[in-house]
């Protein structure tokens, strides 16, 4: 039976590219997005779900249990980068913290019976340095990073729980040339890298035999600036 990977946030950019990569690598990807994908990938089992809503999360968990018992990994990639309004704060905490915890616990039987299982949390470089403009987002990603340690302790050693904390991957759509130049210069390696750093790091984590509870920062050397 083909091993499955549950990937949240697979509609565009990193999520879309990672889903395509994993599908081509021979996995059955269960791709979760809030709306139908813009560019569907052949073979991906798409599940439309708003992961800030408890009912949608419950339906997703039920689907995975029934249709994908040979689960190999969970990649918590879904993300919201919103202003700090009351409703947005609740949504970001639900998506980045409550939902990953709930999914991990609900699927614990599938997770712990696998010979090797990986849980990968896609966090953010701001989790370790804060953000004056997006307080709730940074706080939520910090909490997600902390769950990496907790689940690495909770689950047996056969379950490797790790995080990836990227810096800039893509520039804002429609941004002007001045903004783009200023933004990429914040990193020592001043480029817009796209999805490649995440794809490469996911591949490494899923093959690594001596790592759990760790966080890999891929920020182009932003901390050096």
Residue 211 near residue 162, CB atoms below 8 Å: yes
Please classify residue 224 by burial: count the beta carbons closer than 10 Å to its beta carbon, then call 0-12 exposed, 13-18 middle and 19+ buried: exposed
179 catalytic, yes or no? no
Taking CA atoms, 29 is separated from 8, 26, 77, 138, 187, in Å, by 10, 9, 13, 28, 32
Query: Active-site residue among 137, 170, 179, 204?
Result: 137
Name residues whose C-beta falls within 8 Å of residue 154's C-beta, 6 or more positions apart in sequence: none
Is residue 173 within 8 A of residue 13, CB to CB? The reply is no
Instruction: Give the phi and the psi of residue 93 in degrees, each rounded to 5.
Output: -65, -40
Structure token pair of residue 57: 């999360």
Pick from 162, 218, 163, 224: nearest CA to 193? 218
Active site residues: 137
């Amino acid at each position: 039976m083909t091993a499955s990977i549950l990937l949240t946030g697979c509609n565009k950019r990193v999520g879309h590219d990672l889903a395509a990569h994993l599908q081509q690598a021979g996995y059955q990807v269960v791709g979760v997005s809030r709306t139908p994908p813009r560019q569907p990938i052949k073979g991906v089992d798409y599940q439309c779900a708003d992961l800030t809503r408890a009912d949608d999360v419950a339906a997703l968990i039920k689907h995975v249990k029934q249709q994908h018992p040979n689960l190999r990994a969970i990649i918590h990639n879904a993300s919201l980068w919103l202003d700090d309004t009351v409703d947005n704060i609740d949504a970001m905490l639900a998506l980045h913290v409550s939902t990953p915890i709930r999914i991990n616990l609900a699927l614990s039987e599938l997770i712990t019976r696998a010979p090797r299982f990986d849980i990968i949390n896609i966090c953010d470089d701001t989790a370790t340095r804060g953000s004056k403009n997006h307080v709730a987002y940074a706080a939520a990603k910090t909490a997600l990073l902390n769950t990496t340690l907790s689940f690495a302790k909770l689950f047996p050693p056969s379950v490797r729980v790790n995080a990836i904390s990227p810096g800039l991957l893509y520039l804002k759509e429609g941004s002007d040339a001045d903004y783009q130049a200023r933004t990429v210069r914040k990193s020592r390696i001043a480029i817009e890298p796209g999805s490649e750093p995440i794809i490469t790091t996911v591949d490494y984590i899923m093959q690594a035999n001596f790592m759990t509870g760790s966080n890999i920062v891929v920020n182009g050397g932003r901390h050096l600036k």
